[in-house]
């Protein structure tokens, strides 16, 4: 058994596709239909093979409940060599910088950007003290 993807609900599929493909550089794998008129688009990060499914439901669908940003989801983590440039690119594609904390684990640049629906994306550019898998699992 293994995790193959995760899905998030979005309120505007076209806007979210722009953010995740043009902003984060994910590529579209396939599209499909969901119950009650919904649509889904499966995206992939070619560098890591991680997958993200964007799910959209029309008004009137029982799945189109009032949207609460981040409900059950804390954030998506994304590694980049140039966090400030990536943050600016995401802002150009509908994102909003919400936090630039200092990380005690050795992350030299660390930005949090909201996607168009308010989900947080963490952008990390690791310094020389990147934690090992073993050390990170003990945090």
Closest among 61, 109, 72 to 87, alpha carbons compared: 109
Residue owning tokens 């630039």: 100
For the segment 99-117, the average pLDDT, to the nearest whole number, is: 72
Predicted local confidence at residue 4, as pLDDT = 78
Residue 9's SS3 state is strand
Most confident of 18-22, 32-36, 78-82: 18-22
Cα–Cα distance, 32 to 39 (Å, whole number):
6
At 52-74, the pLDDT tens digits run: 999 999 998 888 877 676 676 77
Q: Longest C-alpha distance within the chain, in Å?
A: 51
- The larger pLDDT score, comparing residue 3 to residue 106, is at 3
Q: pTM, whole model, 2 decimals?
A: 0.75
Contact between residue 121 and residue 113 where contact means Cβ atoms under 8 Å apart: yes
Query: Looking at the chain, which runs of residues are DSSP E strands?
Result: 6-9, 27-34, 38-44, 51-56, 76-79, 96-99, 107-114, 120-126
CATH topology of domain 6-137: 2,3-Dihydroxybiphenyl 1,2-Dioxygenase; domain 1 (3.10.180)
Here the tokens at position 130 are 């990147």
Contact between residue 110 and residue 100 where contact means Cβ atoms under 8 Å apart: yes
Check whether 120 has a pLDDT greater than 60. Answer: yes
């Amino acid at each position: 058994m293994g995790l193959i993807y995760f899905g998030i609900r979005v309120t505007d599929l076209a806007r979210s596709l722009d953010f995740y493909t043009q902003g984060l550089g994910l590529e579209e794998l396939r599209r499909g239909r969901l119950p009650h008129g919904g649509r889904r688009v499966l995206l992939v990060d070619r560098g890591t093979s991680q997958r993200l499914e964007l799910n959209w439901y029309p008004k009137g669908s029982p799945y189109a409940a009032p949207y609460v940003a981040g409900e059950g989801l804390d954030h998506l983590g994304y590694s980049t060599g140039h966090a400030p440039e990536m943050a600016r690119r995401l802002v150009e594609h509908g994102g909003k910088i919400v936090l630039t904390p200092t990380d005690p684990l050795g992350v030299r640049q660390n930005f949090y950007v909201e996607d168009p629906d308010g989900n947080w994306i963490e952008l990390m550019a690791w310094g020389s003290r990147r934690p090992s898998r073993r050390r990170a699992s003990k945090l």
